[in-house]
Amino acid sequence: MLVVIIVGLQFVPVHRTNPPITWDINAPENVSGILRTSCYDCHSNETRWPWYSYIAPVSYFIASDVNEGRKHLNFSEWDKYDEKKKEKKLDGIIEMVTEGEMPLPMYLMIHKDAKLDTVRINILKEWVKPGSSKEESFGIEKNEEKD
């Protein structure tokens, strides 16, 4: 019976898409390496869909994390946020990683290399800090350049 259910589940459609990248966040290499390793699977349109993401019911949870994650924060569609929202997302990133809420614990169980230590967290903090390379990195205009 269980076998029948599990086989049956494989026919339920799961949305595993990688939509087009409209604007990728422009971070220095040391930062983008961290984001790509730890965040891009759920917060970009460059998700690496592993083999187990094709097997129900695991596939439902993975697809749901990715779709939810993208809805909240998508580095590949950074151009869709206005300046205020960009600032808010950046603050959110620092908050989430400082509190250890991101990457999601479930994800870390499988992706050990995605775990953030204090060195990596500090690199992210430095990057977002006011007066950093913020303007180019985040597509946030400097005040004096505004029309």
- Please state, in angstroms and as integers, the Cα–Cα distance from residue 135 to each residue in 3, 115, 142, following that order: 55, 27, 6
- Enumerate residues 105-144 that contact ligand HEC by CB under 6 A: 107, 116
Choose one: 20-28, 51-59, 92-100, 125-133; the region binding ligand HEC (CB under 6 A).
92-100
Choose one: 22-30, 48-56, 85-93, 125-133; the region binding ligand HEC (CB under 6 A).
85-93
Does position 76 bind ligand HEC by CB under 6 A? no
Tokens of 43: 């917060």
Tokens of 2: 């269980």
Binding site for ligand HEC (CB under 6 A): 38-39, 41-43, 65, 68-69, 72-73, 89, 92-93, 96-97, 102-104, 107, 116
